Amino acid sequence: MNYPLFLFFGLVPSIIWLAYYLRKDAHPEPNSVIQKVFLLGMLATLPAIALELGLRSLFSFLPFSEGVILILYIFLGVALVEEVLKFFVVRFFVYRNKALDEPVDLMLYMIIAALGFAAFENILLLFGLGPSSPISSIVALTLVRLVGATLLHALSSGTFGYFLVRSFFDGKRKYLYVATGLFVATFLHGLFNFYILQTAGLTKLLIPAIILMGLAIFVSLSFKQLQKIIKLRP
């Protein structure tokens, strides 16, 4: 029976990226808060599944072609739902937590929640392989998730987190920053999913790779920019 392996390998991609991004924090966050945000991110997968299934049925009644309905579902029924729920974890648990001593920490907490979300997704997908699946299949899926969907979740939420931080610094345009961050995270998340699921050949890998590289560069530069802003503020 491979169930213990499913749990272990499902967590591995998220733990690897979590260790990487925690090293970027000059002032480490409390382990208890990190663990809670990660766990809440995992739990957010459950309402996401329910909403995605419900919206899939709802969209089928729309008077559009199958192609349009599919696009709506990928971008709104999946990407938007997941980005909103990951944000809710941070909004309702972290915003009023005393551990949030610097706005820049929002980027990190968004990434932590996203990695928890991705971990539960990974576990569910591994369980879908069946109890007798060979270890090679388990490792292969884990590696694909490590450099694919798990990283995407972290980067899209990290990007959203950047705009959340900017909303703290510019109260007059607070909601504009939040809306922009949600739009960018949702659009790129949906675009990644669309090319992975609905295309073939070179574009199936090339476009998602470009999206991941672009997001990785943006998140890395954003961390550096925000840390400079914090140092310059009185």
What is the tens place of the pLDDT at every residue in 92-110?
999 888 878 777 889 999 9
What is the tens place of the pLDDT at every residue in 42-88?
999 999 999 999 999 999 999 999 999 999 999 999 999 999 999 99
pLDDT at site 100: 80
Mean pLDDT of all residues in the chain? Answer: 92
What is the tens place of the pLDDT at every residue in 183-228?
999 999 999 999 999 888 888 899 999 999 999 999 999 988 887 7
Q: What is the average pLDDT across 106-135?
A: 95
By CB atoms closer than 10 A (0-12, 13-18, 19+), residue 108 is buried
Q: What is 4-37 written as a DSSP string? A: HHHHHHHHHHHHHHHHHHHTT-SSPPPHHHHHHH
**CA pseudo-torsion sign 129, 135, 136, 141:** positive
Most confident region among 3-12, 22-31, 81-90 by mean pLDDT: 81-90
Task: Find where tokens 């270890």 sit.
Answer: 135
* Structure token digits, residue 221: 């530069």
pLDDT at site 99: 78
The yes-or-no verdict on residue 231 having pLDDT over 70 is: no
Q: What is the average pLDDT across 150-165?
A: 97
